[in-house]
Amino acid sequence: MVITAAGTALPDPSDPSDPSARASVVDLAGRAARGALDRAQVPASSVGVLINVGVYREHNTFEPAMSALVQKEVGINLDYIADPEPAAGFSFDLMNGACGVLNAVQVGQALLETGSTERLLITAADVHPGGDADRDTAYPYADLGGALLLERSADPRAGFGPVRHYTADRPTDVEGYLDTGTMGRHGRTTITVRREAGHAERLSEFAAHAAADYAREIGIDLDRTLVIGPAAAAATAPDGTGAEAEAGAGVGAGGEPHTAAPVLGYLRALDSVRREDHEQLLFVSVGAGPSAACALYRPEGW
């Protein structure tokens, strides 16, 4: 399974005081998805399955499934009775925080392998519940959308390897939740995000250990691998091997990317990687749990 195209989207830089101009998960995910489809030069109707993995959304919306709204925004087979070909179109939400994209990759591998669909679209977007992360300096995440368009490849060496998950043997030190006891009348526009001091360093150390464990398990040379993941995971792996890294962080004053970070990191890697220096890419995601997910990836033609 290969990445045919990828796209990201940032909020419209319009007047943030205008409610209609505030960030929307559906808008960001939709624009990122349409950008990926345009780059691949394929119509939305060619997508059989859409998996949405975003966590934070405007107004703390939980129902209906955001995937259905993104599917409508992208225009994927809106009338399966009138136009059932080439696919009826199916979408669902899959939420596992920062590891959501790689979870969706794992599901996508199974769907493409069984022939359930020819193309699969993963969308990831997070926005501040109030619609503007820049106005809340305590909120840690950026308003950002990303999308990956996936399909099967005829090249047996290309595509994703196995997705592996790792769990740390300690309590989580980061979580986001609705504090119903204190949110009061501002519940639609507020969220509580708890991150203990030093959590970034602990998560980065955990990510590095997960990457090293994955490399040993799968049998890959980290010296010939570009790691796409947390910035500190770019450092030397715990076993002493070096792995150059491309971090998906730093998209602006609004904070760091969350669920869309792997998409942003992948696009940055393609812009900067020297193919003669690397044999493959290694996606590493880490988040609450603490949990991590890793997946090897070889682009077509490498």
Residue 228 sits in the same domain as residue 148: no
Distance of CA 136 to the CA centre of its chain: 22
| Of 301 and 104, more confident | 104
Residue carrying the six token digits 């812009």 = 271
Residue 217 sits in the same domain as residue 97: no
pLDDT at res. 294: 97
Range of the domain at 147: 2-156
Cα 133–Cα 104–Cα 171 angle in degrees, nearest 5: 65
pTM of this prediction exceeds 0.75 = yes
Q: What number of CA atoms fall less than 13 Å from residue 72's CA on the CB side? A: 7
- Boundary-marking domain end, from 101, 132, 156: 156
Residue 104 sits in the same domain as residue 166: no
Tokens of 32: 């990122």
- pLDDT at 253 > cutoff 50: no
Question: CATH code at 237?
Answer: 3.40.47.10
Residue 149 sits in the same domain as residue 238: no
| Model pLDDT for residues 95-148, shown as the tens digit of each residue | 998 999 999 999 999 998 888 888 999 999 999 888 777 778 888 888 999 999
Residue 75 sits in the same domain as residue 121: yes
Residue 219 sits in the same domain as residue 136: no
Residue 238 confidence class, pLDDT cut points 50, 70, 90: very low
Residue 148 sits in the same domain as residue 10: yes
| Of 271 and 147, more confident | 147
Residue 134 sits in the same domain as residue 13: yes
The closest of 227, 264, 233 to 246, measured between CA atoms, is 227
Contacts of 81 (CB under 8 A, 6+ apart): none
- Boundary-marking domain end, from 137, 156, 175: 156
Average pLDDT of the chain is 84
- Boundary-marking domain end, from 114, 129, 156: 156
Instruction: Report how many domains make up the chain.
Output: 2
| Model pLDDT for residues 166-201, shown as the tens digit of each residue | 998 888 887 787 777 777 676 677 777 888 888 888
Residue 136 sits in the same domain as residue 8: yes
Residue 135 sits in the same domain as residue 173: no
Residue 170 sits in the same domain as residue 230: yes
Contacts of 278 (CB under 8 A, 6+ apart): 224, 225, 226, 244
DSSP assignment string, 144-205: EEEEEEEE--S-TTSEEEEEEEEE-SS--SEEEE--TTT-GGGTTT--EEEE-TTHHHHHHH
Cα 219–Cα 224–Cα 225 angle in degrees, nearest 5: 75
- Counting residues of the chain whose pLDDT is more than 90, the rounded percentage is 48
Distant-in-sequence contacts of 104-112, Cβ < 8 A, 24+ apart? 104/51, 104/53, 105/1, 105/148, 105/150, 105/160, 105/163, 105/283, 105/295, 106/163, 106/295, 107/51, 108/1, 108/49, 108/51, 108/150, 109/1, 109/160, 109/163, 111/49, 112/1, 112/150, 112/151, 112/152
Residue 14 sits in the same domain as residue 144: yes
Whether residue 144 contacts residue 253, with contact meaning beta carbons closer than 8 Å, is answered with no
